[in-house]
Amino acid sequence: MQQDQFVDVQNSYGRCLQSGHFIQRFYEIFMDSHPDVRKAFANTDMGRQRHALRRGISNAILYGGGHTLVQRVIEETADLHSRRGRAPIPPFLYDYWMESLIQAIRECDPRVTPQLEQRWRDALAPAIRLFIERY
Ligand code: HEM
Fold for the domain defined by 7-40+54-133: Globin-like (1.10.490)
Quote the CA–CA distance of 91 and 95 in Å, as a whole number: 8
Residues 134 and 82 sit within 8 Å (Cβ to Cβ): yes
**pLDDT at residue 15 in the model:** 98
pLDDT tops 90 at residue 2: no
Distances in Å between the Cα of 37 and the Cα atoms of 69, 82, 120, 129 are: 30, 15, 22, 19
CA of 88 to the centre of ligand 1 (A): 9
Kindly state the average pLDDT of the residues 116-133: 98
Q: CA 42: distance to chain centroid?
A: 19
pLDDT tops 90 at residue 3: no
Residues with CB under 6 A from ligand 1: 37, 40-41, 43-44, 49, 52-53, 56, 60, 77, 80-81, 87, 89, 93-94, 97, 124, 127-128, 131
Residues 96-123 have pLDDT tens digits of 999 999 999 999 999 999 999 999 999 9
Residues 101 and 109 sit within 8 Å (Cβ to Cβ): no
Q: Hey, where are the domains in the chain?
A: 7-40+54-133
Residues 128 and 45 sit within 8 Å (Cβ to Cβ): no
**pLDDT at residue 4 in the model:** 87
Quote the CA–CA distance of 59 and 127 in Å, as a whole number: 9
- 81 phi and psi angles, rounded to 5 deg: -95, 5
Residues 34-72 have pLDDT tens digits of 999 999 999 999 999 999 999 999 999 999 999 999 999
**pLDDT at residue 1 in the model:** 40
Quote the CA–CA distance of 89 and 81 in Å, as a whole number: 5
Quote the CA–CA distance of 5 and 24 in Å, as a whole number: 26
Mean pLDDT (the chain, rounded): 96
Contacts of 10 (CB under 8 A, 6+ apart): 61
